Amino acid sequence: MSSKVSTEVWKPDLFKGKVVFVTGGAGSICRVQTEALVILGADAAIVGRNPAKTDAAAVEIAKLRPGAKVILCSNTDVRDVKLIAKAVEKTVNELGRIDFVIAGAAGNFLSDFNHLSSNAFKSVVDIDLLGSYNTVKATFEQLRKNKGAVIFVSATLHYYGIPFQVHVGAAKAGVDALSNALAVELGPLGIRCNCIAPGGIDGTEGMLRLLKDKQTFIDKVPLHRMGTTKDIADTTVFLFSPAASYITGTVLVVDGGSWHLGSSHGGEGYPVLIKQKNSETVTKL
């Protein structure tokens, strides 16, 4: 099996002897983050709700490096801290330790405010924000013992107003705040906490839902290309590596400079869709 991750930039065995615990590890972005760490010597625990998807990801990632150990912790809902604690226990029993944590489990769908129920809003906040908190809570003792590091997968949606993403924007803003506070509070223990905020990453489910005209989107990116999962994986390697040992409490935006353009970089057709949606009077509670 091949991977999108290249080792030409990074030192072989950079993470030899390390273990990464990844929520959402079977997803498009977090999977490639995990692949990069495993290729560079780490073992991994893939945490997710879907047994088939989680199992397939663990088996395939383990093939990327001879001797790699990649375990699956399926049927784990990040909204339940007790389930994550069981996944942590399994990881320590089978892999011996946890050095790195990627809090990447997330939920998203398009919905305007008028049709976004309170339960739907709560569901996304619970997965993205509460799930991130629960993940660090459950892994805390291992992080303290091993002076570990955490990466939260955030977004740039809350830097400006993005319609139909009010639930995700609110959740990711909370994730940034959580990371900043934990970086300050846990820093004296040797634990680093940072966020990666991806922009438009090609091939992800989110972009497939949001993007109508790919070329128009690319034309508005200062670097004039879509982001790739490899871009996020390389950023992950850097933040977990000794090269970033003095970096904590920061949000590293990986979007080709798009966030500097604000909401003008949003998807095509939003003003028309907003007008259409706001003309309807039904509100879901």
User: CA angle, 279 as apex, 273 and 282 as ends, to 5°?
Assistant: 110
**Rounded mean pLDDT of 255-269?**
73
Q: Which pLDDT score is estimated for 282?
A: 45
Q: How far does Cα 4 stand from its chain's mean position?
A: 17
pLDDT above 80: residue 278: no
Active-site residue, selected from the candidate residues 154, 220, 245, 275: 154
Percent of the chain, pLDDT > 90?
77
Split at pLDDT 50, 70, 90, the class of 285 is very low
Q: Please state the pTM of the whole predicted model.
A: 0.91
Give yes or no: 275 in active site. Answer: no
Name, in order, each residue with C-beta under 8 angstroms of 147's C-beta and a sequence gap of 6 or more: 189, 190, 191
Per domain, the residue ranges of the chain are 19-278
pLDDT in tens, 138-181: 999 999 999 999 999 999 999 988 889 999 999 999 999 999 99
Mean pLDDT, the chain, rounded, equals 90
Q: Which of 191, 192, 193 is nearest to 176 (CA)?
A: 193
User: CA angle, 252 as apex, 251 and 258 as ends, to 5°?
Assistant: 110
Helix (H, G, I), strand (E, B) or coil at 101: strand
Give yes or no: 154 in active site. Answer: yes
Active-site residue, selected from the candidate residues 18, 74, 132, 172: 172
Q: Which pLDDT score is estimated for 47?
A: 97
pLDDT above 60: residue 281: no
Question: Could you tell me the fold of the domain covering 19-278?
Answer: Rossmann fold (3.40.50)
Sequence-ordered strand ranges (E) for the chain: 19-23, 43-47, 70-73, 100-103, 149-153, 192-198, 251-254
**Rounded mean pLDDT of 227-249?**
97
